[in-house]
């Protein structure tokens, strides 16, 4: 049996079973059978059509004639065709929901694996550099204030540049810390880089961000765009979660593009209401 025959057979056996169950239910209530053109009549007709289809499909191998006969039964019975379309549409929708749920779980697991990671942008590249030492020097010199505990080589598990060498700018460095507390210490003090970045004598600027998954990076980019367009007040990430500050200064977590679009619409309506007042 070819792929078309298998698909037809699987679908119509499912419908045949469902139709027989409906027929049994209607038989148990004979008052419904007395009404002309009732749901009972339609169900019995559909049950017979499905039975005919099942008989045909049981004999399908590579016989295009039988396959065409089965197709004609479907096309010439609008109620049957619509029922099949509705059932298959529901199955497709359920499968999409399951795929989306699995994608969310995979993304959560990937982000959790980056829980102790940070990404450093803007640090110039040098030949034969040791990125662990480069990062430690940046942290202790530019991020942590004097008087705070400094980090040593034992604080970093591994680090490396991302991607192939570039001519236009230095590659980012991703760092995995041994302890989550050290990652938090550095990330919570990244605002101290403002002093370095605002100093005109420094030839480059440094930025620290969380190492987001590809999916969350794309979502965060759209969130930053909303901030630039004054659709929301601000945005940031913490432990892989994306937050925004709404026009009323309340914060919200953005999990997907639907969340972002909904909040943008709500914010815009609220701002228009204030302007009208």
CATH of residue 158's domain is 3.30.70.1820
Answer yes or no: do 16 and 94 share one domain: yes
Q: In what order do the strands lie in the sheet with 207-210?
A: 156-161, 173-177, 117-121, 207-210
Are 227 and 271 in the same domain? yes
Of 221, 220, 225, 258, nearest to 240 by C-alpha is 220
Residue 176 lies in domain: 117-210
| Percent of the chain topping pLDDT 90 | 47
Does residue 17 sit in the same domain as residue 91? yes
pTM over 0.75: no
What's the pLDDT tens digit per position in 232-264? 899 999 999 999 998 888 899 999 998 899 888
* Res 3 pLDDT > 90: no
Question: For residue 74, is it left (φ>0), alpha (ψ between -120 and 50) or beta?
Answer: alpha
Domain count, the chain: 3
Q: Is residue 111 part of a domain?
A: no
Give CA–CA dist 111/216, Å, rounded: 9
Last residue of a domain, one of 164, 179, 210: 210
191/219 same-domain check = no
17 and 90 assigned to the same domain: yes
Half-sphere exposure in the Cβ direction for 246 (13 Å, CA) = 19
pLDDT tens sequence across 35-89 = 445 556 656 666 666 666 566 555 555 566 766 777 777 777 777 777 777 888 8
């Amino acid at each position: 049996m070819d792929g078309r025959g298998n698909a037809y057979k699987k679908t119509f056996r499912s419908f045949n079973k469902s139709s027989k169950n409906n027929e049994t239910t209607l038989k148990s209530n004979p008052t419904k059978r007395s009404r002309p053109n009732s749901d009972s009549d339609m169900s019995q007709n559909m049950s017979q059509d499905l039975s005919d289809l099942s008989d045909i499909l049981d004999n399908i191998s590579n016989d295009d004639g039988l396959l065409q006969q089965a197709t004609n039964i479907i096309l010439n019975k609008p109620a049957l065709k619509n029922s099949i379309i509705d059932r298959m549409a529901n199955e497709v929708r359920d499968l999409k929901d399951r795929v989306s749920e699995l994608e969310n779980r995979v993304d959560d697991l990937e982000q959790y694996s980056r829980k102790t990671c940070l990404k450093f942008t803007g640090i110039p590249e040098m030949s034969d550099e040791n990125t662990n030492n480069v990062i430690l020097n940046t942290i202790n010199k530019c991020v942590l204030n004097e008087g705070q505990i400094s980090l040593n080589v034992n604080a970093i598990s591994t680090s490396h540049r991302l991607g192939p060498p570039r001519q236009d700018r230095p590659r980012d460095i991703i760092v995995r810390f041994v302890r989550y507390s050290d990652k938090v210490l550095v990330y919570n003090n990244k605002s101290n880089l403002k002093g370095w970045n605002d100093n005109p004598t420094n030839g480059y600027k440094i930025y620290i961000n969380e190492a987001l998954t590809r999916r969350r990076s794309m979502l965060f980019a759209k969130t930053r765009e909303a901030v630039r367009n004054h659709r929301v007040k601000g945005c940031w990430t913490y432990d892989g979660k994306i937050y925004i500050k709404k026009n009323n200064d309340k914060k919200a977590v953005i999990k997907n593009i639907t969340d972002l679009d909904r909040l943008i619409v709500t914010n815009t309506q609220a701002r228009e209401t204030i302007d009208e007042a």
